[in-house]
Chain A
Amino acid sequence: MTTTAIPAEAKRAPAPAPERRPKREREGAAWVFLSPWVLGAVVLTLLPMAVSLYLSFTDYDLFTPPKWVGLRNYVQMFTEDPRYWRSVVTTLTYVVIAVPLQLALALVVALALKGMKRGKAFYRSAFYAPSLLGASMSIALVWRAIFNDGGTVDHLFGTGGWVNKPGWALLAVALLTVWQFGAPMVIFLAGLQQIPAELYEAAACDGASKWRQFLSVTVPMLSPVIFFNLVLQTIQAFQVFTPAFAVSAGKGGPADSTLVYTMYLYDRGFVASHMGYASAMAWVLLVVIGAVTAVLFRTSRSWVFYASEGDR
């Protein structure tokens, strides 16, 4: 399509298009344009998913052809594998620690930035930077060095190495995620700036304190954004891998204390060469994340307030 054709099309747009080419032909063109994406989706997403679903019903050691075992992997997972359940508990603990901490921090910083007159752009970038860097392996390794015995935290507070203490290692992993609060922060900031100033003025006239304003104006007005961040971060937290992998040097230790779900999945697949079992674990994770998201949406009806509802 040439550029000059666009304004012509646009002008015509309001009127029902009289002479369109037959539907079939138009669809054909659409498919041609869609083809790179469709090809990508099929080859890179749908096909691997189908293979993984098939593998989850097999015993596959990567080297010899998969053997069909029916539901054995699933049965073993739920009834015979204590480490599986340990990894489930570890992941839930992690989600419960990391997500609220991260969202709270993101909100606090967003509130602080909102009121800022000068240097907003600088601080916004500065706080966002960890989100860009944090997913990388190198930062996770630095994190390990900081919390290792003889590391910075050990020197400053005499804590001993957190990453080597079963009771503390998971917290070190969670802190790495919390530290990457930039993405939810930026979203919170955008949400905060959408709240009409009149609401605060009205509340102030009624004598509401800052805290009262926060609870009665900010939180309800921001609730759709809070909900969005909560869903997104929860889904991500369930899939945490890199920080746990790096902080525990790939082992989920010490004493399985950082063995989150995906780490155990990795361990089964790539260390123990049980790809079928690992695939089964991945599918259970998919179903669980779906269920948790559904539950969050269900509860959201009682606490998320959409401004448009007021108009009805």
Chain B
Amino acid sequence: MPGHRTKGFCASAAALALCAVLAGCGGPGESADGGKVVLRYTWWGNPDRAERTEQAVALFEKQHPNVDVTTSFSGYDAYKQKLATQAAGGDAPDVMQLDYRQIDQYASGGVLLDLGKQKSVLRTSEIDPGLLATGRVDDVQYAIPQGRGTETVAYDVQTWKKSGVPLPGKSWTWSQWADTMRALAKKTGKPGATDPGQSEDAFEVWLRGQGKALYTEDGGLGFTAADLTRWWTFTDQLRREGAVSPAEQTTQLDGSVENTPLGRGKSVTDANWDAPASGFLALVPTGVALAPMPTGEDGTPGQYFKPSMFLGVSAHTAHPEEAAQLLDFMINNREAAKILGASRGIPVNETIRDEIGPRLKDFDKTIADYQASLEGKLKDPPQAPPAGDNALQSTFQRDYDQVSYARMSPREAAENYITEAKAELRS
């Protein structure tokens, strides 16, 4: 008899153990909340963007009582890493915000859903075809651009005015910009700008101002070690003079406005994308205004209008239709557009843009006016960066660290970067 009991116990113990193991791997199709569809939606951005997104999502949930949206957001660097890990594990969020640099890799890696198959709930007719095409890879629409952005020099208005240095005009060349930063540093006692040497984006603007580009059409490097050496020599000199932020400040940049010298009250300006610049308002309450990026010495503009960010749907989502509905809501819903304003750039839906454009308030209006002032003046955007660029962004910043901490000469660091970039783009 005892033998019997033992066996029975064993069997149930084993069954229990198996249950415990299996319970850990619930199927993706499960939905909590008594039959409600649960969607995960993630983005990167500042608290301002998060607050507005939460409001828009709440409205969506009200209109779709059967759907529950769980949201999360983080800074750009952290977001990029987390999303890559999730995507690789087949666990990408149902709806995710994507950067231009990620589209190619994610689409060809099978992470993204073909949105063309969701035409019934996802309208794209009111989006400029050229802009819409930026979310297409091999003629499949994998992502929808969410806004249009361009780079800008955001500045602390009050500090600048007090310094007595003339406010920035409608355009300036890189050398005029540098002289202004020197003057600001002299008058205010703090650096004029964030050291732009660490930023691949700023370098691209400088490069394009000379008619060159980051990448060639076939995805190779569009510049030489000599170009990069000149750029880093230029910024290194400004840093040594104290016209731009010191290495200790520059190294803390992580893509969030909170960690920029301007956000910390330690510089007068910061080169950034225009949409996230709204985050400076909370940090510089006395007022932030936008000036254009410097141009080449002959006035050639380097900055361009870029699809600021995209929305995509996971290829593995259990609820493609609801996910597409949420995407449609974020892009085409009038009420949502009013809430979101320009927190992700100016809306891509042209009807909405025309309608709410003039009614934009506060910093949203600042961004809209800034973009309007550049309309027709900028050159065409470059094609989407190749997959390796995703990693090169951080490499760029890291290699410049070696320059700003005076551990390498601009030439050594530039040659280092070119070697790493070539290896990255080849593989």
Contact = CB atoms under 8 A, between A and B. Distances in A.
Interface of A: 1-2, 5, 21, 29, 32-33, 35-36, 39-40, 43, 59, 61-64, 149, 160-161, 164-166, 249-251, 253-256, 267, 270-275
Contact of A2 (B5, B110, B252, B407): B5
A268 to B, nearest CB: 9
Contacts of B248: 149, 160-161, 164-165, 254
Contacts of B85: 62, 270
8 smallest CB-CB distances across A and B, nearest first, come from: A63-B109, A62-B88, A164-B248, A36-B17, A272-B391, A254-B251, A255-B405, A255-B401
B390 A63 contact: no
A254 B401 contact: yes
Interface string B387-427: 10011001101100110110100000000000000001001
Contacts of A166: 405, 407
29 contacts: A1-B2, A1-B9, A5-B2, A29-B10, A36-B17, A36-B21, A40-B21, A59-B427, A61-B109, A61-B427, A62-B85, A62-B87, A63-B105, A63-B109, A64-B109, A160-B248, A164-B249, A164-B251, A249-B254, A250-B78, A250-B81, A251-B394, A253-B251, A253-B401, A254-B401, A255-B251, A255-B401, A255-B402, A272-B424
B13 A33 contact: yes
User: DSSP majority for the A interface?
Assistant: loop
Contacts of B404: 255
B77 interface: yes
B224 interface: no
A33 B10 CA distance: 7
Nearest to A29: B10
A160 B87 CA distance: 40
A1 B249 CA distance: 66
Interface residues of B, number: 46
A33 B407 CA distance: 59
B310 interface: no
A164 B427 CA distance: 33
Contact of A164 (B6, B14, B252, B390): B252
B109 A62 contact: yes
A251 B391 CA distance: 12
Contacts of A33: 10, 13
A43 B20 CA distance: 14
Interface in B1-52: 2-3, 5-6, 9-11, 13-14, 17, 20-21
Contacts of A161: 248
Interface string B87-123: 1100000000000000001101111000000000000
Contacts, number: 103
Given A255-B401, A271-B394, 11 more contacts: A2-B2, A32-B11, A33-B10, A35-B14, A63-B109, A164-B247, A250-B77, A251-B397, A255-B404, A255-B405, A272-B424
A168 to B, nearest CB: 11
Contacts of A61: 105, 109, 387, 427
Contact of A271 (B10, B81, B87): B81
In the complex, which of the residues A40, A165, A249, A267 has the most CB atoms of chain B within 10 Å of its own CB atom? A249
A267 B392 CA distance: 12
Nearest to A36: B17
Nearest to B85: A270
Given A29-B10, A35-B17, A254 B405 contact: yes
Contacts of A62: 84-85, 87-88, 109
A273 B84 contact: yes
A271 B251 contact: no
A255 B416 CA distance: 14
A29 B11 CA distance: 10
B13 A273 contact: no
Contacts of B81: 250, 270-271
Nearest to A161: B248
Contacts of A275: 88
A140 B298 CA distance: 49
Contacts of B407: 166, 255
In the complex, which of the residues A35, A272, A274 has the most CB atoms of chain B within 10 Å of its own CB atom? A272
Contacts of B109: 61-64
Nearest to B405: A255
A256 B397 CA distance: 11
Contacts of B398: 251, 253, 256
A63 B106 contact: yes
A275 B88 CA distance: 11
A67 to B, nearest CB: 9
Nearest to B16: A36
Contacts of A59: 427
A274 to B, nearest CB: 8
Given A63-B106, A255-B402, A32 B10 contact: yes
Contact of A32 (B14, B84, B254): B14
A1 B6 contact: yes
A249 B108 contact: no
Interface string B350-384: 00000000000000000000000000000000000
Contacts of B395: 272
Contacts of A2: 2, 5
Given A32-B14, A272-B391, A272-B424, A63 B87 contact: yes
Contact of A63 (B111, B397, B424): B111
Contacts of A1: 2, 6, 9
Contacts of B2: 1-2, 5
B80 to A, nearest CB: 8
A76 to B, nearest CB: 9
Contacts of B405: 166, 254-255
B48 to A, nearest CB: 21
In the complex, which of the residues A32, A33, A40, A161 has the most CB atoms of chain B within 10 Å of its own CB atom? A32
B251 A270 contact: no
Contacts of A273: 84, 105, 390-391
